[in-house]
Amino acid sequence: MPDLRSRLAALMVAELQTPDDVVLEGVLARYFRERNIRPRKNVLEYLVRRIERSAPAARAVVERIDVAAASDGRSVTRDLAREVLGADLIEPGPVKPPGRGA
């Protein structure tokens, strides 16, 4: 057992960081390609800014978008991505001052 401990202690350890925009966009593109989907760049850019920064989250959102597109007979677009993510996110928008009419 001491030999095993010393061998394990000698191993290098690498800390994995969350993927940056370029890596996450590549991960999303790969998952879309695996499903034979070629989304426009604006779809990837939209998703990169709004999903959790992890490969499992990217895979899950690609699957949700694919299912939504197939069930509605639609192409994968930024609007579809927004609809799929809509339940999870609040879109940023202008803030209305309090006390003003609707």
Q: What is the DSSP string of the chain?
A: -HHHHHHHHHS---PPPPP-HHHHHHHHHHHHHHTT----HHHHHHHHTTS-SSHHHHHHHHHHHHHHHHHHT----HHHHHHHHTTT-----PPPPTT---
* pLDDT confidence tier of residue 98, bands split at 50, 70 and 90: low
22 in any annotated domain: yes
Average per-residue pLDDT for the chain: 86
Share of the chain above pLDDT 90, in %: 64
* CATH number of the domain enclosing 69: 1.10.8.60
2 in any annotated domain: no
pLDDT, tens digit, 9 for 90 and up, residues 48-95? 999 999 999 999 999 999 999 999 899 999 999 999 998 565 444 444
pLDDT at 95: 45
12 in any annotated domain: no
In the chain, how many domains are there?
1
The model carries a pTM of 0.71
